Structure formats: C-alpha cells, structure tokens
Chains A and B, each alone.
Chain A
C-alpha cells in the first residue's frame, strides 16, 4: 500500500516533469496547469502515505531495494522521513496553487513550461533525499536536488544579478555536495557499507572527520553562518514560488540530513552537540541582525531564514548535548522543538515569500522603501502577510511561538541539571536566543510597517492592485496552517505520541478570544459609537506627505547603531586643503560603506586562492599532446604504485 502510494507520487511528479518537456514548444497555460496539478496530486498521495506512519508509529518500511553489487538503491520511510515528507507535501500544494497563477505573469513564453517541469523534478529530488534508505541513494538524490534547484534559480538568466547569484549558488551547492560525499565515503570506510546505521566500535578520528564533513555539507545547504552567503543572493533572484520552496522546504531537507545522521549514525557526543549549538546560535543572532539591516524584501526574508535555521540547529545541538549528558527526556523535548520549528518555519516562511511575491508583483520593486500603504490596496494579501509576521515573530498563540516555547522549555529544564561549565554556556545561548526572537519581532514590525502601513512612498505602490484568487488561495491555506499548528500544538504533539509538559495554547487562544469579545462588548455598552475620520497629526501641517513618514531605514537605525560593531561600517573621510594648516578647504570625499564581512574576509580570499591553484594547474593543460601523454603516464604509474602498496 505504502509502496503503491509512493510509486504513484513519484510517477506523477515524473510525468509532471516530462509533460512540459515534451510539449516544450507550445506556450499554453493548460500544459503548465496540468504539470502543477500533477505535483499537487503527488503531494496529496504523499500526505495520505505519511500521516498514518507519523501517527501510527509503524516501523520503518523498506519499500524498494535494488541491489547492484557494492551499490544499491533503496527507499524506506520511517517516522522521521514521514514527518519531512508531510512538510514537503503541504508546502508544495500551497506553492503550486500560487504558482499556477504567478507563473502566468512571468516573462519568458514557453520557457515557463520548463520552469513548471523543473519544479516537479526538484520536489521529486527532495522527496527522494528524505526517503533514501542508504547513503548512496541519499547522495544521488542530493545531487539531483542541487542541480534542479540551480536551474530554478537561473530562470531569469538574462539579468546580471541572477547570473551572479546563480554562479554563487552553483559553487556553494557543489561545495555542499562535495562535503556530503566526503562524509559518506568516510562513513563507508568505517562501516564498509552504504547503510545508514550506527558506526560499530568506539569513536575515532575518522568518526569525527566524517561528522565534520557531513556537518559542513548540511550547514552550507541550510545556510548556516558563515556558509550562508548564497541565500541572500539566490532568493531575490529566483521567482517567488521557487524562493518559497527553497527556503521553506530545501533548507529543511538539509536539516533532515543533519538530524538523520546525528540520530542514526553517530553516538551522542558532547563536542558534536556543542558545535551544532554554537553554529546555530551564531547564525540565529547574526541572521536576524542582518535581516534588520536589509531593505530588499526577499533578501530580508532570506536572512530571517538563516536566523530560523539557526534556531533549529540550536535545538539539534541542545539535543546532542543533553543526550551526551544522559538526559534523554529533556533531549527529546529539544529535538521535538527543532523538528516542530522546521515544520513551522516551512509554513510561515513560504507564506511570507508568497505574499511578498504578490506585493513585488503588484509594485514592481523589491525595495521596501518604495512601498507603503499597501494594506489599503491589497487587504487580503496584507492579512496573510500579517499572520506570517505574527508567526515568525513568535507571538502566541501562533505556531512560531509554539516551537520556540518548546525550545525555551528545553533550555530552562536543562540548566537545572547539566554540569556547571555547560550550564554557563547554555545560559549564554539562552540569552542570545531570547535576543534573537525579540529582534525578529522588531524586524517584522519594520517589514509589515514599511510595506503595508502608512502612505505609499512611490507611484507604483500607490497603484498596486490585489492579486487574483489563486495567488490568495495558497497563502490562505498556509496561514490557516500557522494558526492551527499554533493553537493545537499540544494536542497534535500528544496525538503523535509524545508527552510534553507544555502549556495548552488552545486555552490561551480561547482566553484571548473571550477577552476580546468581553472588551468589545463592554465598550459597546459604556462608550459612544461615534467615530470620525481626521488627518494624521503633523504638528499643524495640513496634509501629510509620504516623505515625512518614518522609513524602514529610520526604523532600524537605533538597532543599527547599537549593533554597529557587528555591521562593520567603514567610514572614509578624505579632505584636501589649499594650505598646509588645513584651513582652506579644496575638495573632499566621504563615504559610509557597509562591509560585507564574510564576503571580504572569507569568500573572496578563498576564491582567489582557488583561482591561483587552478591557474597553476591549467599551465599543464596547454593543448600539447606530449604533456597530456606525460600526465597520463604519471597518473598510471602513481596508481600502480599506490595499489601495489596497499595490496
């Protein structure tokens, strides 16, 4: 049964990929709709498949296993995989609904057919990564995911920014693949097979090395600082539904990889846990601080993804630390928090990407300083974005709060038990976690305020129109998901078979609703219903202009100044004078530049180092036959020597 459903889903996705490819020349909406509907149908099948496994807790099922000598291809779905399949499927349905309309408004003619097809292949690759039974299948699917996502990012390849983003993404994603491959090979050296299972014997240097390379591979793919730089480039460059899929789902697939290998392969180790926690904390704090500074709406969301992935990594790291300390109960709360937050982030981040895609579609700009007042022009989109903002700012009773609450609880209960040194460290991480979540509230007040509230700051923002039905339907489902997962958090966790002493958010939600009704009723009774429209008070000026409003820059300025050491602004001030005493001013030059710290100190030096190495190597490749023969000869000689040596 499960096998049939899975094969059905895969077949639908493949046909959704092939159909537009075969009929690629015809520019028709029907082809694209059929292709996207195939993706949605596949997702429905996946939901039907995943829910019973998730709730029933039936043991892992080896669905397919094709042995082929040393290598084998296998599909198996256990509860963890089912959880991530559910995540992929739900987000896919909503994104596909939205994309069915959104893709029609893109430029590119019949190229859009390919976009639909590639989206299906991308989803299939993610499904396969999650359902892979062994490391070999995992790696193949991982590579497929890297390739398809690259094509999707490159959709608008004519634009200079896109091709730059594409190259950046290509290099980073291949680095990730390289590290994952290295980790898998190192694991193979220890276990002698590609099965995802625990390493026999005590942990050695090889174990640590394989963990480190897998960690780096997954960290690059999920955008952990300092490997994050591709996110804020790739997300603004790709079409909004693709950003939603990449940020909402693909990053979670990388999280799945880390969780899968941490749980099943490596035995709990304090150092591994601390490493994951440290990287998570740094990403969470720096991610949100960079998000605050960003004024490109989609780049801001990308940085906020980095923050949320950081929070998820904090949960996984905490799990590692606690299980190494022999506290499986609290450890499972931390892991639950990480997984729950993955799901929640998938929902609200794709919601935010889709709604901001609508706003960008309506205003033709990504700069939030050019927007404003859109709540009056796109009221429904505004409501959905608002729900997403509430969820991501971790406000009760929405889902973002539910998972962060779990993580807070894991932190609070762990500090009473672990050793003093770890305790101090956990306190520090806890404080930074609190800072992160408060800053993300500030960030989304700024985002919602500058995009939707106040007066329109450009003509295009003033002319914005509400988007068509389908572009509202996708976000509508996602926002319903955000509300339901928040209110029913405790009930759903209990339903899945976990007992967590978590506050009942449904009760809090009901109390909030009751209070609202009571206050409203009381006001109706005791105060007049009179209501008058007036001008905004502007110190006596009669009409308010958009130019006097508080801008997004202005809003984040206090935090910019407070965190200025982290932003590394470079202020250059050169003046030349006519005289020696510096009195008569001749000319001057002043600039304030935001330094891209990671790019200037990490990426560019690494890149230039590679360029130097490749330049050296390419000297041997001079097109002369003799050199090539010599190279081949030396290679064979070395191989003979090496193989003879080891035998």
Chain B
C-alpha cells in the first residue's frame, strides 16, 4: 500500500463524514420551501447528530446483541463502502478497493444488520420496516446490477476508480448520451436505495409509509445517531456515484493540495445542486402505494436494459 492511498483513505472518509449531513438538511430545506414552510437550518442534521450522541441509549428488554451491534456494523460497512467511491481524489486502486460488486454488497451487509435489528425487539413496526426494506431492496437489485454492468461495459472496468478516471478522460462535460441515460438509471437507484419519495417517506413515522424509519424505531441515543449518520453517508455515496460519472469535471487525479481543495469545493457545489434536484423531485411527487412499486421498478429495469441493448447493438 503506497502513501498516496493512505492519504486517500483519510481524505475520502473525512470528506464524506463532513459533507453527508449537509446534503440531508439541504433536501429537507428544499422540501419545506416548496411546501411554503421555513424549514430547518442548513446545519440542523449536524446539531441533531451531536445531540443524539450525548443521549443515553434505551434498549428493549427483549433485544439481544443484534440491536447493539447493528448500528456499529452498519456504520462500519457504510464507511468502508465510502472508501470505494472517491469523492474528490482518485488514486490508483489497491487490493480491489473500488470493485463495484463489493461496494454493492457492503451496502447489503449494512442493510442485513439493520433489518435484523428491526426484528430484534419484537415490535410489529420494526418487522414491518424490515420486511418492506428487504422486499424493496430485492426487487431493485436486477436494475442495479444491470446499470452497474452497463457502467462496467462503457468504461471497460469493474472498478469505480477506473470508471471515474475514464469519465474524466473522455472529457467530462458534456457527457455522452449513454452516460446521461445511465445517470437517469442511477438517479432511480439513488431514490430507491436511500428510501425517498416515491418509494418511502423519510419524514414520517406512520405505519403506512415507513420502511426505513420503521426499522430504527427501537434505536436511541448514540445508536440512533450512528444509524442516521450512516444513512446520510449512503445518500452522499449514491450522489457521488452519479455526480462523478455524469459530471466528473474537477475531480483530482493527482495528489496536490490545491487540486483537492478545488475538487472538494466543486463536489460540495455539485452535490448541493443534486440535493436541490432531489428535493424538488420528492416535492413534485406523492408516495406510491407499496404494491405499485414493483411496476415502477420494472419500468426502471426495462429502461436500463434498453440502454444496454442499444449499447450492445450500436
């Protein structure tokens, strides 16, 4: 392992930890504005996590070590997954870090623990959340893998690092039509993976809508902080995947302080724009009924498959 990669590990983790809560509050702010509300301050999510970290943990008497381990494993898996998606600086990959399948399955690992934690306390809400989360994540999986395969096909590599480098080399902006189509598919995957409208409503704790929130109902204190933080990081990762494939301009390929600073500023700007788009997208839609989702996913699947077939035959 070379020095450059070690530096990358620190820079990437620090960037994602610092930027993640910002995008979450930004989306909330935009949604509030479109509803004619003032909305929380832009730094609200930071305050919230800081406050939760100072609170004591309340565990159910029926809960086992799963409930206590889940937030830790969840956060660790997401943070390792974060190393697979370079936000500001792309080094030479080491030891297969950056493999897109490993990235996908690290997210799965986090989800597996979260779903079990939902079942652990014996609450019916937790079970509801776990059941729906696992169902939705299963039926979006074919689409995700097809899109990833398309990306691997376009960039001739299974490595996210190489994909980003490839995207920068081919000129970045304006992206080719295929990249834009892949971007749209990635956007759908982002919405599903991070439990947003029309799949799930991250704002409410109502039984009818909750998927992701249902699983967290029994979590409290620092454990809840970890869960919320990790879901914010996951959102940032999916956004970074989309941003750095479609508009990779400014992504640093060599390790220089100036380059990384510029890339970081650019990433925050691009991320904020994408957060605004997500906020507007969420506001313009109603949550779909749960059993209407498969048809939505089927549409996304056909769309992505069509892109690939176009790519294959043209």
Contacts and interface: CB of A to CB of B under 8 A. Distances in A.
A and B together in one complex: yes
A435 B119 contact: no
Contact of B122 (A433, A455, A511, A562): A455
A124 B277 CA distance: 65
A473 interface: no
A445 B112 contact: yes
A62 interface: no
A508 B77 CA distance: 10
B76 A528 contact: no
B54 A394 contact: no
Contacts of A519: 72, 75-76, 79, 226
B101 A408 contact: yes
Contacts of A530: 56-57, 221
B62 A454 contact: yes
A536 B149 contact: no
B123 A442 contact: no
Interface string B36-66: 0000000000000000011111111111111
A438 B138 contact: yes
A183 interface: no
Interface string A505-544: 1011001100110011001001110111111111000001
A275 interface: no
- Chain B interface, >50% SS class: helix
Contacts of A390: 109, 112
A409 B141 CA distance: 16
Given A434-B141, A453-B66, A507-B95, A550 B80 contact: no
B131 interface: yes
Contact of A508 (B102, B128, B153, B313): B102
A390 B97 CA distance: 21
A511 to B, nearest CB: 5
B100 to A, nearest CB: 9
Contacts of B115: 445, 449
A502 interface: yes
A367 B158 CA distance: 42
A407 B218 CA distance: 38
A640 interface: no
B201 to A, nearest CB: 17
A412 interface: yes
A415 interface: yes
A445 B305 contact: no
A624 interface: no
Given A427-B308, A503-B95, A558-B135, A516 B73 contact: yes
A445 B109 contact: no
A509 B134 CA distance: 24
A532 B80 contact: no
Given A435-B142, A534-B60, A396 B218 contact: no
A46 B72 CA distance: 42
Interface of A: 372-373, 375-376, 382, 390, 393-396, 401, 405, 408-409, 411-413, 415-416, 420, 423-424, 427, 430-435, 437-439, 441-442, 445-446, 448-450, 452-455, 490, 502-505, 507-508, 511-512, 515-516, 519-520, 523, 526-528, 530-538, 544, 546, 548-550, 554-559, 561-562
25 contacts: A375-B65, A393-B108, A405-B101, A415-B153, A416-B156, A420-B313, A431-B143, A434-B141, A438-B141, A441-B138, A445-B116, A445-B134, A448-B116, A453-B122, A454-B120, A454-B127, A455-B62, A507-B95, A515-B75, A519-B79, A520-B72, A531-B57, A531-B59, A536-B63, A550-B119
Interface of B: 53-66, 72-73, 75-77, 79-80, 83, 94-97, 99, 101-102, 105-106, 108-109, 111-112, 115-116, 119-128, 130-132, 134-135, 137-139, 141-146, 149, 152-153, 156, 158, 217-218, 221-222, 225-226, 290-291, 294, 301, 305, 308-309, 312-313
Pairs A-B, 5 closest by C-beta atoms: A550-B127, A503-B96, A530-B56, A449-B119, A434-B145
Given A430-B149, A527-B221, 20 more contacts: A394-B105, A396-B102, A411-B149, A427-B305, A430-B145, A432-B142, A434-B144, A434-B145, A441-B111, A445-B119, A446-B134, A452-B64, A512-B80, A534-B60, A534-B61, A536-B61, A550-B119, A550-B130, A555-B127, A558-B290
